[in-house]
C-alpha cells in the first residue's frame, strides 16, 4: 500500500471530516501551546529575520491548521511591537501528503487574511502556501526555514514495515493490526527499525531546510516505558483489531483481509527518540515533555464515540482502501462502544511527547 498516495485525514467539512473531528488533537496542542509560543518568540528575538519562514508539517485540513498560523503570527507580532523591532514578512508553508484536502484550507484564506489584517495596523505581509509531499524526504529549498512545527504527525511511519508480510502478503502479526501482547517479538523490532529509519530521514531532511539555530517543535504520541505492548498506546489499536474481528465474525469482512492489514504507526519512548536525535547529529534536543490528554467527553457524546470519530477521520482512507468502502459505519460504531466499555473498567490515557529541537551550529 502506497502511504504517500493513500493516507489522508478525511477532507471537507462534513460530519465524518477531520475538520469536525480533531478537537482531541487541538486540546493536546493547546496544553503545550505556551512552549511553542515561547520557542518561536525566543527564536525571533535571537535571529530577528526580515523574512520569517515557518512550516507546519502534517497540517491536515480544518480549524487547527489556521489556528496554528494565527497563534504564531500573534506571538511574533506581539514580540515585535513590544521590543520595537520591525515585524518580519511571514512565509508560512503548509505541508501534508498530496491526498490531503488543501482546497478546504485555501478557500478559508481570503477571510483569514482579512482577520489578520484587522488585528494589526495596516497590512501584514504574510504569504501562505501549500507544499504537498511526504515529510520523510525533502520538502523545501535549502536553508529557507526558521521554525518547523508538527503536531500529531510523526507517529505515522512512511510505510508499514515491509518485512511484516510473508511471501503470500499475510502479516506475521496475524489478527493484530499493531504491536500487541500476543505479537511475536520480531514485530516490535520491525516497527522500531522503521521508526528509526524514518525519524533519521526526517531529521536529516529538516536540517537541510532550516537555517543554523532554527528550531522545531514536534508533538507526537509515544509510550512510557520499554514494554512495546504498553496499554497506553496499543490499547486503541487493539480495540480497532477487535472491532474488525467482530465484522469478520459477522461475515462483513473476510478474515484474509484482516490478516493482511497493519497500521503505519509507531509510538516511541523518550529514550528511542533521544537516541535517534543523538545518532543523526544535526540537532540538539533542548526540551522533552511528556503529558497525558485529559479525557473529558464532548457535550453531546460519550468519550468512546468521540474517540471513534477522531480515529475514523484519521484511518478511514486506509481502511476503505484495504477493506472496501462501506464498512466504516458499523466498524466505528462497534469501536466507540468497545472504547466506552474498556474505559469504564480502566482509565487509559495515551502519552504524548513534545520535543523542542535546535539545529546545531556546524
Instruction: List Cβ neighbours of 32 (8 Å cut-off, separation of 6 or more).
Output: 219, 289, 291, 354
Torsion angle in degrees (nearest 10) through CA of 141, 142, 147, 150: 60
- The only residue of 27, 70, 115, 127 in contact with a second copy, by rule CB under 8 A: 127
Distance between CA atoms of residues 162 and 330, nearest Å: 29
In this chain, which of 30, 34, 98, 184 binds a second copy, going by CB under 8 A?
A: 98
309 touching a second copy, by CB under 8 A: no
| Interface with a second copy, residue 5, by CB under 8 A | yes
Nearer to a second copy, 158 or 173 (CB): 158
To a second copy, the closest distance from the beta carbon of 120 in angstroms equals 16
| Residue 107 beta carbon to a second copy: minimum distance, rounded to whole angstroms | 5
Task: Return the number of the residue (12 or 175) whose C-beta is nearest a second copy.
Answer: 12
Binding to a second copy (CB under 8 A) within 248-287 occurs at none
CB 240 within 8 A of CB 328: no
Give the three-state DSSP class for 61: coil
Residues 135-154 that bind a second copy (CB under 8 A): 138-142
Q: Which of 16, 23, 99, 302 binds a second copy (CB under 8 A)?
A: 99
Applying CB under 8 A, does 4 fall inside the site for a second copy? Answer: yes
Residue 54 pairs in a beta bridge with 92, 147
Instruction: Check: CB of residue 65 under 8 Å from CB of residue 11.
Output: no
Site for a second copy in 107-126 (CB under 8 A): 107-110, 125
Name beta bridge partners: 355.
218, 288
What the block records as the C-alpha cell of 117 is: 489584517
Q: Which is nearer to a second copy, 5 or 279 (CB)?
A: 5
Query: Hey, which residues between 23 and 82 contact a second copy (CB under 8 A)?
Result: 51
Q: Bridge partners of 312?
A: none
Stretch that binds a second copy, among 36-44, 133-141, 267-275, 295-303 (CB under 8 A): 133-141
The residue ranges of DSSP E strands in the chain, in sequence order, are 51-57, 89-96, 126-132, 145-151, 210-222, 283-292, 351-359
Burial of 115 (C-beta count, 10 Å sphere; 0-12/13-18/19+): exposed
Q: Which residues bind a second copy (CB under 8 A)?
A: 4-5, 11, 51, 89, 91, 93, 98-103, 106-110, 125, 127-133, 138-142
Amino acid at each position: 500500500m502506497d502511504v504517500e498516495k493513500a493516507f489522508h485525514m478525511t477532507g471537507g467539512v462534513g460530519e465524518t471530516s477531520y475538520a469536525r473531528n480533531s478537537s482531541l488533537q487541538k486540546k493536546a496542542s493547546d496544553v503545550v501551546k505556551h512552549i511553542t509560543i515561547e520557542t518561536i518568540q525566543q527564536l525571533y528575538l535571537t535571529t530577528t529575520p526580515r523574512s520569517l519562514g515557518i512550516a507546519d508539517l502534517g497540517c491536515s485540513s480544518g480549524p487547527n491548521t489556521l489556528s496554528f498560523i494565527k497563534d504564531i503570527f500573534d506571538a511574533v507580532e506581539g514580540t515585535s511591537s513590544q521590543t520595537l523591532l520591525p515585524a518580519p514578512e511571514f512565509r508560512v508553508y503548509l505541508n501534508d501528503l498530496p491526498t490531503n484536502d488543501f482546497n478546504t484550507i485555501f478557500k478559508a484564506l481570503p477571510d483569514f487574511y482579512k482577520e489578520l489584517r484587522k488585528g494589526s495596523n495596516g497590512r501584514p505581509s504574510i504569504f501562505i502556501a501549500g507544499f504537498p509531499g511526504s515529510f520523510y524526504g525533502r520538502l523545501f529549498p535549502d536553508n529557507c526555514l526558521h521554525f518547523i512545527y508538527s503536531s500529531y504527525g510523526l507517529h505515522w511511519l512512511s510505510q508499514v514495515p515491509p518485512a511484516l508480510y510473508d511471501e503470500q502478503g499475510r502479516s506475521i502479526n496475524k489478527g493484530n493490526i499493531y504491536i500487541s501482547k500476543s505479537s511475536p517479538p520480531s514485530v516490535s523490532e520491525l516497527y522500531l527499525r522503521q521508526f528509526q529509519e524514518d525519524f533519521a530521514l526526517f531529521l536529516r531532511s529538516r536540517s537541510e531546510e532550516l537555517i543554523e539555530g532554527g528550531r522545531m517543535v514536534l508533538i507526537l504520541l509515544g509510550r512510557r516505558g520499554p514494554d512495546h505492548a504498553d496499554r497506553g498506546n496499543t490499547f486503541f489499536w487493539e480495540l480497532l483489531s477487535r472491532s474488525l474481528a467482530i465484522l469478520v465474525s459477522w461475515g462483513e469482512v473476510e478474515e484474509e483481509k484482516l490478516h493482511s492489514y497493519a497500521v503505519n504507526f509507531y509510538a516511541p519512548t523518550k529514550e528511542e527518540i533521544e537516541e535517534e536525535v543523538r545518532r543523526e547529529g544535526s540537532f540538539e534536543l533542548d526540551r522533552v515533555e511528556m503529558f497525558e490528554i485529559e479525557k473529558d467527553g464532548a457535550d453531546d457524546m460519550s468519550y468512546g464515540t468521540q474517540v471513534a470519530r477522531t480515529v475514523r477521520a484519521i484511518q478511514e482512507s486506509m481502511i476503505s482502501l484495504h477493506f472496501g468502502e462501506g464498512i466504516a459505519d458499523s466498524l466505528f460504531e462497534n469501536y466507540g462502544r468497545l472504547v466506552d466499555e474498556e474505559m469504564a473498567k480502566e482509565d487509559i490515557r495515551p502519552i504524548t511527547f513534545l520535543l523542542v529541537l535546535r539545529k546545531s551550529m556546524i
